[in-house]
Amino acid sequence: MSINVETEDLIPFSDARTAFPGGKRLALATLHRWRLPPGVRGVQLETCVVGGLRYTSRQAISRFIEEQNRDELPAPAITAKQRRTQAESAMKVLEAAGI
Spans of all domains in the chain: 10-74
Q: Integer distance in angstroms from the first to the last C-alpha of the chain?
A: 54
Distance of CA 77 to the CA centre of its chain: 20
Tell me the average confidence (pLDDT) per consecutive run of 10 residues in the chain, 99 residues long. Answer: 92 96 95 96 95 97 93 76 93 91
The partner residues of 12 in beta bridges, in order of sequence, read 55
* Entry field: residues in the chain: 99
Give CA separation, 96 vs 83, 86, 90, in Å. 20, 15, 10
Indicate the helix (H) or strand (E) that contains 91.
Answer: helix 80-96
The one-letter amino acid at 39: G
User: Could you give the angle at the alpha carbon of 57 between the alpha carbons of 56 and 59, nearest 5°?
Assistant: 135
